[in-house]
Amino acid sequence: MLDSYKNSQPIVYKILKNAILNDKCSHAYLIETGGFYDSINFTMSFVKSLLCPLKKLAKENCGNCHQCEVIDSGNFPEIEIIKPDGLWVKKEQLQNLQKEFNTKALIGNKRVYIITKADRLNKSSANSILKFLEEPDNNLVAILLADNIYNVLSTIRSRCQILKLKSTDISKEKLSTIEKLKQITIGSNKEIDDEVVTNKISKIIDFVNYYEKNHLNTMLYIGKLWNEYITSKEEFEMAFEIMINYYKDILNYSLNKPSEIFTPNDDIKNISKNNDINELCQKINKLVELKDLIKYNINTNLLMDKLIMSLEGVV
């Protein structure tokens, strides 16, 4: 809960805590996450504290009531989390959000939407939420996150209360690649066996590296390269998310931008050399597209064949 950030984020903690206790929350926050490695969990703690029906009764924020548990499980209907679809947050994602909020009746006391990468709002997607940010509904709270607020369009920035998280000793740079991947794919779920996940993550990267050297031939070895490690729907989603992030960092390397998760190594440098920027963007888009199919219970063998053919540009 928010109280666990009392020491690591004293200023932002104080501002948000006071706002919650006095019912004086802003309708839109833009949180600069800087190097703070735990920003998503921090945000969810804030949201829980904001929505918890017991927030004023419990001295320390609750975290254990039924509603807090539903929020933890990711199934609370009044919270929407928007992540970039591909490289950008798309206009349609925001229009759908507004439609949904306008038609559904409010269950709790407030609704929250979170945009995890506000710097990935382009002009057209930004325009579609300006009105939303401008004419705040009392029950609606927007939380936008960005590593650096100056990468966020000024039209958005000017409509939000800005909070800056302090980067802590355990800075993003000091976390290993595996730890960063765990943050983005499984969050703070503690019931996961570390060694198993670490092994799976490295198999997924091995798979991409193998594919980049062997192309269509990879299809012959899917059993050994993939099926032995990735089986459940959740694992497929995690695997695709990891591959997307891997290609994004290869793209970052090609564009001379700092990497987000994967420190450039020989594999990344080689893949960057063998793919032009267009090809990398296409591969990212294909992965995003196919990742979406996982939730429809698509036959996973077909999915992997389709993946390789899509990456090859055959389909």
Using CB under 5 A as the criterion, which residues of the chain lie in contact with Zn ion when the complex forms?
52, 54, 62, 65, 68
Q: Residue 265 CB: number of other CB atoms within 10 A?
A: 11
Q: Residue 143 CB: number of other CB atoms within 10 A?
A: 24
Taking CB atoms, the residue at the shortest distance from Zn ion is 62
Residue 84, both tokens: 């970039």
Nearest to Zn ion of 62, 298 (CB atom) = 62
CB 16, min distance to Zn ion, A: 16
CB 50, min distance to Zn ion, A: 11
Alpha-carbon gap, residue 245 to 181, rounded angstroms: 9
Nearest to Zn ion of 106, 315 (CB atom) = 106
Nearest to Zn ion of 65, 153 (CB atom) = 65
CB 49, min distance to Zn ion, A: 8
Nearest to Zn ion of 53, 258 (CB atom) = 53
CB 13, min distance to Zn ion, A: 18
Could you tell me where the DSSP H helices lie in the chain?
A: 10-21, 39-51, 66-72, 91-103, 123-134, 154-157, 177-186, 194-214, 222, 233-254, 266-274, 277-294, 300-312
Alpha-carbon gap, residue 304 to 306, rounded angstroms: 5
CB 24, min distance to Zn ion, A: 20
Name residues whose C-beta falls within 8 Å of residue 156's C-beta, 6 or more positions apart in sequence. 30, 118, 121, 126, 129, 130, 133, 144
Alpha-carbon gap, residue 222 to 282, rounded angstroms: 22
Alpha-carbon gap, residue 90 to 125, rounded angstroms: 6
CB 254, min distance to Zn ion, A: 46
Scan for tokens 């389909």, then name that residue: 315
Nearest to Zn ion of 11, 54 (CB atom) = 54
- Which strands, in side-by-side order, build the sheet including 111-115? 79-82, 111-115, 140-146, 28-32, 161-164
Nearest to Zn ion of 71, 144 (CB atom) = 71
CB 188, min distance to Zn ion, A: 17
Nearest to Zn ion of 62, 81 (CB atom) = 62
